[in-house]
A = this chain, B = another copy of it.
């Protein structure tokens, strides 16, 4: 789950851990909160696996992902140079900024498609659904739909079985479970319909591959993902 959040966020901007945490908080709400204790180890692991790579904040790396860690030099330079920077033109460089690699993109794609019972995982997947090709998106939504339908049936059973003999509170809990699931289901249905209607609304969103480290320097300044905004 944390991999999904990290890779999804890095797909759009190169970020350092600290900000990654802030973004994940504001972007994904209080639901998918990550703590430093899991974030930094996750970043380290993803870096080991070659899914993300540290990049120099000042100089966007030209030949970034050779598989071997040739970026060590860059990092060292940026570490060394940080001291005297002070209030001069250079921004502080002590932070470790990460970017997603082609390997990471593939991993992200598979994480976005993977079926998962967990609600929060689905929320994350949908939040980043623009990175999925349209067919995969449809598959994801349909899978979720089936899942919710099964859950609804079960919840309904629980209600019917209990009948009138249920305690007030327990009955209320179950009724609410049914309602909530219906609500979620209606939402998914709307999304599926929108998906069918819009074969291609106006923008070309599928797999643009932007933001990858290998692509070269990514302008972190303005907005590159927003595309044709609205």
A residues sitting closer than 8 Å to B (CB atoms) are 26-27, 29-31, 123, 126-130, 151, 154-155, 158, 161, 163-165, 167-170, 172-174, 176-177, 179-180, 183-184, 187, 191, 194, 205, 223, 225-227, 229-230
Given contacts A30-B154, A179-B187, 15 further A-B contacts (CB under 8 A): A26-B158, A27-B158, A29-B174, A29-B177, A31-B177, A123-B173, A126-B169, A128-B170, A129-B169, A163-B230, A164-B229, A165-B230, A167-B205, A172-B191, A176-B187
One complex includes copies of this chain to the number of 2
CA–CA, A229 and B161, complex, Å: 8
Q: Which residues of B contact A183 (CB under 8 A)?
A: 179-180, 183
CA–CA, A16 and B193, complex, Å: 48
Q: Which residues of B contact A205 (CB under 8 A)?
A: 167
CA–CA, A31 and B151, complex, Å: 10
